[in-house]
Structure 1
Amino acid sequence: MLHKYSSGQARVTIFAADGNARTFDYQAGDVGYVPFQDISLNQWLALTPPELVKAHLNIDDALIDTFSKKKQTVV
């Protein structure tokens, strides 16, 4: 993901597997590249405790049951 900062300051922290994280500091005039992997929202929601998903997204168990815990590969 490429970002161009035209004013102000920003701090971005990217969290990865196994508790790894990297923090990037930017200021006006910086161009930043933030490396990331694609994630499956479907898989992420399926692996999140259902109580949290229901509380924050206001959806029911029937919809949560349709989420797949396996990431689908798009070719």
Structure 2
Amino acid sequence: MGIFNADLSATTVDIEAGDVGYVPKTTPHYVENTGTTDLVFLEVFPTDTYQGVSLATWLAHTPTRLVNEHLNTGERFLADIPKTKAVIEPWNRMWYPSYGINKQSGSETGSEQDQIN
């Protein structure tokens, strides 16, 4: 789980089965499954109203030139980000190329060559 702190730093925490993670109120955060089994978790909201703001939503609705100049993402990356909001998004390797999957072996790899093929 990653937490974006008010002082512009970020904290990453590894959470395992049975652990409890806490995110301070109004703190932007994300949850990523880095394991090999399905991630199942309970998220508790202290309010009756759910308000989600995703990084993908921010990027999709920010002028392409601005995003590309700051993040060097390229036109294809930005074009592949959905323009509509979904509560749960399927995994998209294009968004996180460092988590490549070797198409021949099915194993995870960080190899640029495997990501290109």
* TM-score (ref. length: structure 1): 0.47
* TM-score (ref. length: structure 2): 0.32
Query: Higher helix share goes to which structure?
Result: 1
Query: Higher strand share goes to which structure?
Result: 1
Structure possessing the higher relative contact order (Cα contacts under 8 Å, 6 or more residues apart): 1
